[in-house]
Structure 1
């Protein structure tokens, strides 16, 4: 009457323990999954530059790709950059074009090209009439002393351009 025995929990044999251990170890932890996903996203993004220029393509080809056969009007793009950049890793810039920014008369796109960078296309900025002003500012990397070219594409198909020479004391693109 009080001597009831409970059935003992079945014990796992050595083979069953190995199988369970193998199944458990094949699961990814959250940390492993996050690290793997982050690495995969980073690797997928490496081949794509901001502009998508081929690194072997020179700055002349980058300019030709933007302009085609059009003849740009010189000196109408204001490029504000330091004359001497002590560190090419982070060179500040402001590029602006005087434009009414109406539906029919506006800057559509500003292209920035650095003539001595491994990938000359630095950035492309697109504008709408709602943009208000055709002005962009930021920081760019410059490999060494070089010209920075700003090209503005207008809504009527014309192109405006300017060039600014920047002396770099410490290169920012691995050079």
Structure 2
């Protein structure tokens, strides 16, 4: 059984070996889609992730406050009860980078995630479900921010 210090030391050695073999940077680049995070609209972000035209759906759920007192930590959630979801996305329309989070989903995972996003101003927030059959479904909600989090 490892204690915390031993586990950190062991993890650092494994990371150093992977980096030395040239494996770690490739894995990190594969997981990060620069075009999607550079997108300025929901359609562009979805397209960069391989999706088609988004359509609004009651089968996608977006949770979040009506008014966020601090834009630096706005609690939001995305979920779908539909089988076959491959990715769930959270997007904030008026942020410099519209895409805030991407969650990969499989059949063995409950398609429901919560996180906190940073919002510089009041904006529409979108929860998007990218389905295995090519459909892209979304829900939206306006969240008003009283204290800006993105430099505002």
TM-score (norm 2): 0.69
Extract structure 1 runs of 4+ deviating beyond 6 A: none
| 1:26-65 correspondence to structure 2 within 5 Å | 52=34, 53-54=37-38, 57-60=39-42, 61-65=44-48
Checking the alignment, whether the CA contact within 8 Å between 2:76 and 2:114 is kept in structure 1 is yes
Matching of residue 118 in structure 1 with residue 101 in structure 2? no
CA shift for structure 1 position 68: 4.9
**What does residue 145 of structure 1 align with?**
122
Counterpart residue number, 2:108: 130
1:155 correspondence with 2:135: no
Report the RMSD for the aligned CA atoms in angstroms. Answer: 2.1
Structure with bigger strand share is: 2
Structure 2: which 5+ residue stretches go unaligned? 1-28
Question: C-alpha separation between the residues in 2 aligned to 1:173 and 1:130?
Answer: 35
- Alignment match of 1:89 (pick from 67, 72, 83): 72
Distance 2:33 2:72 in 1: 18
> Is this contact kept in 1: 2:61–2:79, CA < 8 A?
yes
- How many residues align? The count is 119
Q: 1 CA distance for matches of 2:65 and 2:105?
A: 25
1:108 aligns with 2:89: no
| TM-score scaled by length of structure 1 | 0.61
CA deviations on 1:13-44 (whole Å, 9 max, x unpaired) are: xxxxxxxxxxxxxxxxxxxxxxxxxxxxxxxx
Match of 1:80 among 60, 63, 67: 63
1:166 to 124, 143, 149: 143
Return the offset for 1:136. Answer: 0.3
Q: Is the radius of gyration larger for structure 1 or structure 2? A: 1
Which consecutive residues of structure 1, in runs of 5 or more, have no partner in the other structure? 1-47, 100-104
Q: CA deviation at 1:62?
A: 2.5
